[in-house]
Amino acid sequence: MMRSAKRKVKTNSLTLLLSGCMLMRGYYNCGPAAFTASMIWAQIFPFEALQIFEGELKSEIEAGLIVSFTIWLLLNIAFFCTIDLTYLHTFFGTMTGPQYTVQLYKDAKDDAMRWDAVFTNRISYTKPIHGEIKEWVKENIERWRSETPSWFHVDLIPDDFPPVDVLEAEGGARRRRRSSISVRDIIGLTRDVGVDDNRVHPFTATD
């Protein structure tokens, strides 16, 4: 898992430097300040590398870099002159992913938005306000279970958030294991040693 995370970070960084993808400035990716710093560094680095380059084409490469940088600079000026400046902070802010998640919860206008902020992201991101979230869940979970809105999935709620009676009614910690699909089931491998059954086992609501 750690190696996978490192590969993901390297891939994201490479994508950012080579493409300048604006989506990478998101709070769950590079973050605004790191994105902008990477973009600036991507323009400086070629000139730094050129200083140690020795060859007949050095002057031509330098001219090409200057032209490229000039175009990049003009396009960025044009870009920032045409966008809604209220989004300017998304290029220079230092807010982290967890801080952004907490803000999403606090600024949410309804339960659906609060749910999305808390239970579709890493639960550790909202650790500073877990007490507040537990109270919110306690006050509303019976109504959610009765109304069953489309966004409400009780399995997403950690066991220490709902009231004890609700937790017991839902099967406690077992509810997660009951609703999960194992890798062995997905690829069709049997759990019983010695049983020759390599068929794929489709997951159903009763599994």
- Do 107 and 32 lie in one domain? The reply is no
The pLDDT, as a whole number, for residue 39 is: 84
Examine the fold and report which residue of 92, 117, 133 is the final residue of a domain before the chain moves on.
92
User: Which of 40-44, 90-94, 147-151, 195-199 is predicted with the least confidence, judged by mean pLDDT?
Assistant: 195-199
- CA 179, CA 72: separation in Å to the nearest integer? 51
Rg of the chain (C-alpha set): 25
In a domain, 174, yes or no: no
Domain count within the chain: 2
Query: Within the chain, what is the greatest distance between any pair of CA atoms?
Result: 78
User: Is residue 192 over pLDDT 90?
Assistant: no
- Do 20 and 41 lie in one domain? The reply is yes
- 31 or 194: whose pLDDT is higher? 31
- In contact, 90 and 32? CB cutoff 8 Å: yes
Residue-number span of the structural domain to which 13 is assigned? 2-92
In a domain, 24, yes or no: yes
- Do 7 and 88 lie in one domain? The reply is yes
The pLDDT, as a whole number, for residue 33 is: 85
- Do 60 and 123 lie in one domain? The reply is no
If one counts every other C-beta atom within 10 angstroms of the C-beta of residue 39, the result is: 19
**Maximum mean pLDDT: which of 81-90, 104-113, 156-165, 189-198:** 104-113
- CA 64, CA 60: separation in Å to the nearest integer? 6
User: Which of 124-133, 146-155, 173-182, 196-205 is predicted with the least confidence, judged by mean pLDDT?
Assistant: 196-205
